[in-house]
Amino acid sequence: MRYAMVIDTKKCVGCSDCVVACQNENRVPIGYCRDWVIEHAKGTFPNVSIELRSERCNHCENSPCVRCCPTGASHYEEGGLVKVTRHECIGCGACVQSCPYDARYSHPDGFVDKCTFCHHRLQEGKLPSCVSVCPTECMYFGDLDDKESKVYQLLQNRDWKVLAPEVGTKPHVYYLI
Ligand code: SF4
Ligand code: SF4
């Protein structure tokens, strides 16, 4: 089992419903976020296009945040999920500094928080909240080890990229381009 998210940048309209859904689902404090949407301009005038992209923790296979955590609070779980055990986190912020994607934030209650791919929902057989509300259905979630899964099929049949591949983290959020 290897969880992955595949996001179709051609279908994203930048509505940020994914961000609002995540904030509600995970009780993210006002002013913080576990996911966000960016606009990335590509090309040079007059051949310019805008890529809209919903970003979050990439649940990296080779994650510096897990490596640097002094208490083991940051750890891997089933399917390669990267999670933080709140009561083991001392809030030192080493993981926040180590993440090349700026995917973590220091919660006002003293621990570090980030996207969990809505692990609590997965355990109930549901999709992550962001995936379930996207009005254009541009986000897909599943098991990359399952060759019948939509995520596996999409990566076989479309061009894709991961963010900052040069840093060697082996992200598990993929963007169709
Ligand atoms: Fe860790 Fe950042 Fe990778 Fe998430 S995106 S697993 S926080 S290094
Ligand atoms: Fe580990 Fe918490 Fe320190 Fe992050 S802030 S490195 S999760 S103890």
Ligand 1 geometric centre to CA of 2 (Å):
16
Was domain 3-176 assigned CATH 3.40.50.300? no
pLDDT score of 45:
87
- Asked whether 63 lines ligand 1 (CB < 6 A), one says yes
Give the residue, out of 169, 172, 174, with the most ligand 1 atoms within 8 A of its beta carbon, to mutate for a pocket test: 169
Handedness of CA 62, 66, 68, 72 (dihedral sign): negative
Residue 93: partners with Cβ closer than 8 Å, 6 or more residues away: 106, 112
Residue 29: partners with Cβ closer than 8 Å, 6 or more residues away: 107, 108
> 108 — phi, psi (to 5°)?
-60, -20
**Which ligand does the CA of 164 lie closest to?**
1
pLDDT score of 42:
86
Integer Cα distance of 161 and 159 in angstroms? 7
Tell me the pLDDT tens digit for each residue of 59-117: 999 999 999 999 999 999 999 999 999 999 999 999 999 999 999 999 999 999 999 99
Whole-number mean pLDDT of the chain? Answer: 97
pLDDT score of 129:
98
Domain boundaries, the chain: 3-176
Tell me the pLDDT tens digit for each residue of 43-64: 888 899 999 999 999 999 999 9
